[in-house]
């Protein structure tokens, strides 16, 4: 609900800024979904102008205000924004699979249905509960018997402190951090347990930008695709760029890039069948009220 309200509040802004779609420099400006990290490897090798948001929904604000030509957006947020009336369009994929997982720190939980009766930390976003439900039910477990505890965005400290037995988090971020801290965990990745392999993060533009500046959109996508190839070929240079942009620890960034690298390929490409499967998943598990029309929500080349 919190995510829905945040996205809904942005729709009015998106609708009110439709007359100025040429924002950003000629080479294009891209707004990130979050602070720089390894999923943005191709972006930081693309040569594009980058805007870093304060929080995840700010990429939509920057897009709405004409301060970015393109934004990195969580695919569920794109669906919520369109559900609330915004005509933003997905034009590319930053990663090719879901990044969400149920990460467990208990020796007696060897499969998802063992989470019955256990404490699982969730942020409070509807996508978290959808992930947890999909994972548990796919293994024949009773989702209603899982003890869900809202912990906000404190997955790592909550799991380390023993406040919860498992968390819904990202295997490429919190999962890597926990392993580097020596915490023994087991991961149930959502696309291994009930979810299709959809792109967790997508590249989005306003429809007017796509219609009036398609060459710019194509150039930006091409730069990100080429940047991704460069990032995977020259990983140390990529780590250096990400460390300078984020201030993060270089060994952590290196480990995150190693973990997420397979999901970055093929760069930018959208797959129609994967998007249709995502639309069914989000409607079935209540992230969206209705199954979105993929032909309207995405421009698949």
Structure confidence by residue, pLDDT tens digits, 245-294: 999 999 999 999 999 999 999 999 999 999 999 999 999 999 999 999 99
Q: Which two tokens stand for residue 201?
A: 């993060």
Residue 13 has pLDDT above 50, yes or no: no
Residues 74, 124 within the same domain: no
Residues 185, 254 within the same domain: no
Q: Which two tokens stand for residue 49?
A: 């102008």
Q: Is 219 helix (H, G, I), strand (E, B) or coil?
A: helix
Q: Quick one: pLDDT at residue 163?
A: 97
pLDDT > 90 fraction of the chain, expressed in percent and rounded = 85
| Closest alpha carbon to 45 in 230, 178, 184 | 230
Residue 218: HSE in the Cβ half-sphere, 13 Å Cα cutoff: 6
The Cα-based distances of 270 to 92, 97, 158, 258, 286 in angstroms read 6, 11, 35, 22, 23
Total domains in the chain come to: 2
Separation CA 172–CA 297 (nearest Å): 26
The Cα-based distances of 30 to 3, 24, 40, 248 in angstroms read 22, 8, 11, 21
Q: Domain ends where: 173, 192, 211?
A: 192
Residue 18 has pLDDT above 80, yes or no: no
Structure confidence by residue, pLDDT tens digits, 112-166: 999 999 999 999 988 999 999 999 999 999 999 999 999 999 999 999 999 999 9
Residues 39, 187 within the same domain: no
| Cis peptide preceding 103, ω within 30 of 0 | no
| Confidence band of 59 (pLDDT split at 50, 70, 90) | confident
Residues 132, 167 within the same domain: yes
Q: Quick one: pLDDT at residue 56?
A: 56
Residues 249, 104 within the same domain: no
Residues 210, 286 within the same domain: yes
The Cα-based distances of 14 to 21, 24, 243 in angstroms read 11, 16, 32
Q: Nearest 5°: phi and psi at 2?
A: -60, -45
Separation CA 159–CA 298 (nearest Å): 37
């Amino acid at each position: 609900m919190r995510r829905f309200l945040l996205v809904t509040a942005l729709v009015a802004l998106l609708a009110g800024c439709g007359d100025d779609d040429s924002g950003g420099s000629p080479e294009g400006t891209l707004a990130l979904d979050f602070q720089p990290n390894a999923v943005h490897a191709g972006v930081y090798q693309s040569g594009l102008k980058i805007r870093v948001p304060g929080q995840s929904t700010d990429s939509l604000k920057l897009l709405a205000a004409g301060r970015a030509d393109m934004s990195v957006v969580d695919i569920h947020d794109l669906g919520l924004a369109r559900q609330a009336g915004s005509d933003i369009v997905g034009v590319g994929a930053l990663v090719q699979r879901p990044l969400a997982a149920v990460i467990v720190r208990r020796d007696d939980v060897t499969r998802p249905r063992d989470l019955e009766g256990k404490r699982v930390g969730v942020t409070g976003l509807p996508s978290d509960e959808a992930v947890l439900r999909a994972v548990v039910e796919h293994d024949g477990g009773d989702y209603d018997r899982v003890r869900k505890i809202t912990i906000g965005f404190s997955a790592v400290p909550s799991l380390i402190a023993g406040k919860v037995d498992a968390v819904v988090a990202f295997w490429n971020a919190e999962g890597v951090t926990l392993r580097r801290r020596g915490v023994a965990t087991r991961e149930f990745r959502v696309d291994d347990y009930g979810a299709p392999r959809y792109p967790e993060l997508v590249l989005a533009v306003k429809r007017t930008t796509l219609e009036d500046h398609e060459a710019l959109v194509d150039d930006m996508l091409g730069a990100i695709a080429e940047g991704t190839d460069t990032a995977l070929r020259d990983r140390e240079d990529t780590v250096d760029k990400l460390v300078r942009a984020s201030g993060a620890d270089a060994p952590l960034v290196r480990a995150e890039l190693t973990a997420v690298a397979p999901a970055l390929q093929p760069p930018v490409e959208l797959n129609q069948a994967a998007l249709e499967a995502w639309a069914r998943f989000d409607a079935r598990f209540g992230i969206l009220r209705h199954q979105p029309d993929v032909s309207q929500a995405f421009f698949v080349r």
